[in-house]
A and B are shown apart, each in its own frame.
Chain A
Amino acid sequence: MIVTLVFFAGLMSVAAWWLVRQGLGTKPWLQAQPAAELVATGRPSLPTAKMGLGVFLAVAGLLLSLIISAYVMRMDMADWQPRPVPRLLWANTGVLVFSSAALHWASVAARRGNRPGVQDGLLAGGITALLFLVGQALAWRQLAVAGYRPATNPAEAFFYLITAVHGLHVLGGLVALGRAGTRLQAGASMVKLRAGVELCATYWHFLLLAWVSLFALLAYAPSVTWFVALCSAPFR
């Protein structure tokens, strides 16, 4: 559970840093304010939807780190049999990088009020994300044809689980992207559009970051056994 705890500690330090800035040391019983000197709420300056996405990403990140934890714990056992990694995953990673870049482009365009730019960015991002999913499905097929099925071995089971969970997150993102696209088609105001596109871009960067971490784990994880050994050394 080391991975989960490290991620959790990260979240907690962000929360602690934020809480400390909220005046947790103030003595509210001494501060009955008449109307003129009303204190501000100390509300964060982030828009509500962005805050919502941030909280969601923290939850999704913890979900992935729990799966990684489970994977690492299982891998640490003596009978672990590694499984080949389809080369296709490299191509898929490239596609997802492009997808993420396209959405970043869309969000920059939205900030500048460039409507055609937003449209191109969303379209490129959406199509490449779909392509990524097709690529992942092909990778599954390659593995299955080579005889590595979910029930063959825990290593395969984890591979299918991890890629499926990530793929579901991509699918969810595509729904949001589709909504932003429909809004664009309906001629929504640039202000609303910008909010939606920026959320999509943030989410796509998260998807990319998550995938790169997961891919590194799936492809190269055995090389970190020294790290596991180091962390568990005090308890041996």
Chain B
Amino acid sequence: MGDVADAAGAAIPHPDSEEDDLYHPHSWLTKYVFSQDAKVIGVQYSLTAISIGMVALVLSWLMRLQLGFPGTFDFIDPPAYYQFITMHGMIMVVYLLTALFLGGFGNYLIPLMLGARDMVFPYVNMLSYWIYLLAVLVLVASFFAPGGPTGAGWTLYPPQAVLSGTPGQEWGIVLMLVSLALFIIGFTMGGLNYVVTVLQARTRGMTLMRMPLTIWGIFTATVMALLAFPALLVGAVMMLLDRLLGTSFFMPSLVEMGQQLRYGGGSPILFQHLFWFFGHPEVYIVALPAFGIVSDLIATHARRNIFGYRMMVWAIVAIGALSFVVWAHHMYVSGMHPYFGFFFATTTLIIAIPTALKLYNWLLTLWRGDIHLTVPMLFALGFIVTFVNGGLTGLFLGNVVVDVPLSDTMFVVAHFHMVMGVAPVMVIFGGLYHWYPKVTGRLLNETLGRIHFWVTFLGAYLIFFPMHYLGLLGVPRRYHDLGQTAFVPDSAHTLNAFISVVALTVGVAQLIFLFNLFWSLRHGRNAGGNPWNATTLEWQTPETPPGHGNWGAAQPVVYRWAYDYSVPGAERDFIPQNDPTAVGMTR
């Protein structure tokens, strides 16, 4: 478009640059390392997230060793134990789950599933990954800093996070807060891309209501993350100032070891509000992409159209909005006005309605479907049962009167790991098995995948079901060593040892998965373009793995929704979204 300027009074139009803005790499470095291609960035995000996730996995083994066999391992002293807890929690929730779902799956799938050539701001997208990597490196650096990483617990509650009794008070907490701030800045850059790409870069015919539920989940979760992470940023910056400049945002007047500290007038509760205004939506930031992906896995592998697509979309949006008005249910034991407790308990329980709706729709999609028990399907089914289990105990904990006695017990650990640990991880595995053939052109090994699934699935239940029981017995969480506690029977110690053995076994099963990832890269069965006979656009690319610009000469045109499986009268049991044949119009 040339310069249209200076014709007196003529309005200058807006640039209409959909096609000509696609960035083209010129060297190996800009193609695979400093790439602006969302697919490469997605893979980079995924690999980084999985790598740092492995660190967190090893930390959980160490914690289990201590809990199962207290006193056996000298190097796990109380400070080390708290450092393991803190880093395990923070890495898993933020640096693995959030980054993998939104940065990994989001980057890879959004442009492909929408028929776009790339994200709308590719340069910003690239920056997003590198800032994320920097955040991860800063976090890892805290392991090597004097005093080690912070041991304040993953919620980093002040004042104790800043006080000298807490491990990692010198460097650990500073590096943690800086790393979180970097992560949020990087994520905001990526998040802007995901949202604006969904809004602006959909191909012709791709209305919002024709988007696969995976995109709806990632889109809504990204909007939520963009609105929730600023709260954590504000909290992190304020605590950083408390720690470094001696301000008193969160630090009240304190006497420590007989010494009056220079702090005064801060409010620790203020931090809790900020943290949980982020923290609760974070649960759904992880859950919504999982909901979306699992819907697509179930529809594809059961050869059925998703039941109640509209309701599924509405439920995702409703859950996203509701999740912002429930945060204080994490603060029942911090003390609050009973009316507030009542309000937050009510909103918490209301979320169960759209969530249950999604569950029924998944079940009805499976009902009389042509279920193929492929590895992705196994993981999807595993997710559904696990999410129900974790969700039901969430209803317990959402009630103030039940939460108060259970809050500091293993019950919370069990609930939380079921609903936010195991369930989303099931979907991540399902998604990786499902889309790996698109990324690499080869299928993951089926036998190894089945072993991986069954050990992980059964193992997770052997770990976390008994933990509910321990919680009901009153076994406290966050304790390095139970010692001689009167109300904890000997059998609880035996159970703890059992849980630890299973946890290590499940850990080893993840190594099988890692091996599979690398082994199948070379030796996996050739997948072809569309191994699952799926309808969505990412399986209709001219090349597999998709080339630069995704679509070759012309972008696809979408004629139908994403779930035309087993349409009566159709030639095959699926009709791709970009198939213009008129079958299925009048049903």
Q: Report A177-192 residues with CB < 8 Å from chain B CB.
A: 189-192
Residue on B nearest A189 in the bound complex, by CB: B3
- Whether a CB of chain A sits under 8 angstroms from the CB of B310 is yes
Q: In the complex the two chains form, is A24's CB within 8 Å of B4's CB?
A: no
Chain B neighbourhood of A27, CB < 8 A: 310
B544 adjacent to chain A (CB < 8 Å) = no
Tell me the chain B residues, 539-587 only, with Cβ under 8 Å from chain A: 557, 559-561, 563-564, 575, 580, 582-585, 587
Q: Which of A63, A154, A191 meets B230, CB within 8 Å?
A: A63
With contacts A63-B233, A154-B266 taken as known, whether A32 is within 8 angstroms of B583 at the C-beta atoms is yes
Known contacts A70-B270, A79-B265; A29/B563 CB under 8 A: yes
On chain B, the residues within 8 Å of A55 by CB distance are 192, 195-196, 226
List the B side residues contacting A175 at CB < 8 Å: none
Closest residue of B by beta carbon distance from A52: B196
Interface size class of A (residues with CB under 8 A): 35 or more
Q: Could you say which residues of chain B place their CB within 8 Å of the CB of A26?
A: 207, 209, 310
Complex Cα distance A110/B6, Å? 10
Shortest distance between the CB of A184 and any CB in chain B (Å)? 12
* Chain B residues with CB under 8 A of A12: 321
Q: Is B241 an interface residue (CB 8 A)?
A: yes
Among A22, A39, A70, point to the contact of B238 (Cβ < 8 A).
A70
Bitwise interface map of A from 63 to 84 toward B, beta carbon under 8 Å scored 1, else 0 = 1001100100110010100000
Taking CB atoms, residues of chain B closer than 8 Å to A4 are 231, 277
* Distance in Å: Cβ of B224 to nearest Cβ of chain A: 11
**0 or 1 for each of B1-35: is its CB under 8 Å from A? (1 = yes):** 11111110111111100000000000000000000
**A138 in the interface, Cβ–Cβ < 8 Å?**
no
Determine whether B248 belongs to the interface, using a CB cutoff of 8 Å to chain A: yes
A135 within 8 A of B: no
B204 within 8 A of A: yes
Whether the pair B120, A48 counts as a contact (CB closer than 8 A) is: yes
Please tell me if B210 contacts chain A, counting CB pairs below 8 Å: yes
Please name all residues of chain B whose beta carbon is closer than 8 Å to the beta carbon of A48 when the two chains form the complex. 120, 196, 200-201
B5 and A44 contact, CB distance less than 8 A: no
Residue A87 at the B interface, CB < 8 A? no
Whether B200 pairs with A38 at a CB distance below 8 angstroms is no
Q: How far is the CA of A30 from the CA of B564 in the complex (A)?
A: 10
**Which chain A positions have C-beta within 8 A of B52?**
none
Given contacts A63-B234, A115-B6, A151-B246, contact A44 B209 (CB under 8 A): no
Q: Which residues of A contact B13 (CB under 8 A)?
A: 191
* A residues in contact with B585, CB < 8 Å: 30-34
Q: Does B227 contact A (CB under 8 A)?
A: yes
Q: How far is the CB of A158 from chain B (nearest CB, A)?
A: 8
A42 to B199, CA, bound (A): 9
Contact string against A for B residues 267-286, beta-carbon threshold 8 Å, 1 for contact and 0 otherwise: 10010011001000000000
The answer to the question of B515 belonging to the interface, with a C-beta cut-off of 8 Å to chain A, is: no
Given A19, A32, A74, A194, which contacts B582 in the complex, CB threshold below 8 Å?
Answer: A32
- Tell me the B219-238 residues at the A interface (CB within 8 Å): 223, 226-227, 230-231, 233-234, 237-238
B241 touches A161 (CB 8 A): yes
Residues facing A in B259-303 (CB within 8 A) are: 262, 265-267, 270, 273-274, 277
Which chain A residues border B584 with CB–CB below 8 Å? 32
B82: Cβ under 8 A from any A Cβ: no
Residues of A within 8 A of B266 (CB): 154
Q: Assess whether A147 is interfacial by the CB under 8 Å rule.
A: no
Whole-angstrom distance between the Cβ of A224 and the nearest chain B Cβ: 18
Is A113 engaged at the interface, CB distance under 8 Å to the other chain?
Answer: yes
| B1 pairs with A191, CB closer than 8 A | yes
Any B CB within 8 A of the CB of A58: yes
How far is A153 from B251 in the complex, measured between Cα atoms in Å? 11
Taking the nearest CB of chain A, how far is it from the CB of B513, in angstroms?
35
Complex Cα gap A77–B241 (Å): 21
Is B340 a contact of A51 with CB atoms below 8 Å? no
Would you call B479 an interface residue if the criterion is a C-beta within 8 Å of the partner chain's C-beta atoms? Answer: no
Nearest to B223 among chain A residues (CB) is: A15
A44, A59, A191: the one within 8 Å of B227 (CB): A59
In angstroms, how far is the closest chain A Cβ from the Cβ of B175?
A: 21
- A195 engages B14 (CB within 8 Å): yes
The CA of A35 and the CA of B121, in the complex, are separated in Å by 30
Q: Enumerate chain A residues within 8 angstroms of B464, measured Cβ to Cβ.
A: none
Task: Chain A residues near B321: list those with CB within 8 A.
Answer: 12
Could you tell me if B1 and A189 are in contact, using CB atoms closer than 8 angstroms?
A: yes
- Kindly report which residue of chain B lies nearest to residue A195, judged by CB atoms: B15
User: Does A6 make an interface contact (CB < 8 A)?
Assistant: no
B247 within 8 A of A: yes
Which residues of A have CB within 8 Å of B226? 55, 58-59
Binary interface encoding of chain B residues 187-214 relative to chain A, with 1 for a CB under 8 A from any of its CBs, else 0: 0100010011001111111111110000
CB distance from A35 to the nearest CB of B (A): 5
Q: CB-CB < 8 A to B249: which residues of A? A: 70, 74, 154, 157-158, 161
- Of the candidates B223, B274, B563, the one whose C-beta lies within 8 Å of that of A70 is B274
Q: Is the beta-carbon distance between A59 and B230 smaller than 8 angstroms? A: yes
Jot down 9 A-B pairs with beta carbons below 8 A, ordered by A: A27-B310, A32-B559, A32-B561, A33-B559, A38-B205, A41-B204, A58-B226, A59-B188, A150-B247
Binding site for A on B (CB under 8 A): 1-7, 9-15, 120-121, 188, 192, 195-196, 199-210, 223, 226-227, 230-231, 233-234, 237-238, 241, 245-249, 262, 265-267, 270, 273-274, 277, 305, 309-310, 313-314, 317, 321, 324-325, 337, 339-340, 557, 559-561, 563-564, 575, 580, 582-585, 587
Report the 5 A-B pairs with minimum CB-CB distance, sorted nearest first.
A190-B5, A28-B561, A157-B247, A113-B5, A151-B246
